[in-house]
Amino acid sequence: MDESTEQLNRVFAALADPTRRALVARLAGADATVGELAQPHNMSLQAISKHVKVLEEAGLVRRSKDAQRRPVHLDAEVFDLMTKWIERYRQEAEQRYRRLDALLDRMADDDSPRTDLEDAS
């Protein structure tokens, strides 16, 4: 497996958890410390920290050091990789649906009753 495929696997695995998705949604608004991320959840700081570590290993977030704070920052670059992957398959599915629509249109035209004017021409 190439590196981008492995990273996508880690990203999708990390985002499979609803708590981690909630953390990503929170970080989309602004950076936050682990304590700030833990506030709306009924979890310990240690549990939230483990979730942040999974997101960090997937490349979705990174921690920085700002004096005494250690804010967690959402890394939007990984979302570009995910978007490209999703878009590729969306386009393939869309092409299949267009081919199916065209086939169904041809079948409908073949099955439609002819009028006397069409028969005369």
Distance CA 34, CA 72 (A): 7
The pTM for the full model equals 0.73
- DSSP-derived 3-state class of residue 72: strand
Distance CA 94, CA 109 (A): 22
Q: Tell me, what's the pLDDT at 116?
A: 54
Question: Which residue type is seen at 25?
Answer: A
Domains annotated on the chain, with CATH: 3-75 (1.10.10.10)
> Does 111 score more than 70 pLDDT?
yes
Higher pLDDT, 113 or 13: 13
Q: Tell me, what's the pLDDT at 79?
A: 87
* For the chain, the helix, strand and coil percentages under 3-state DSSP, each to the nearest 5: 70, 5, 25
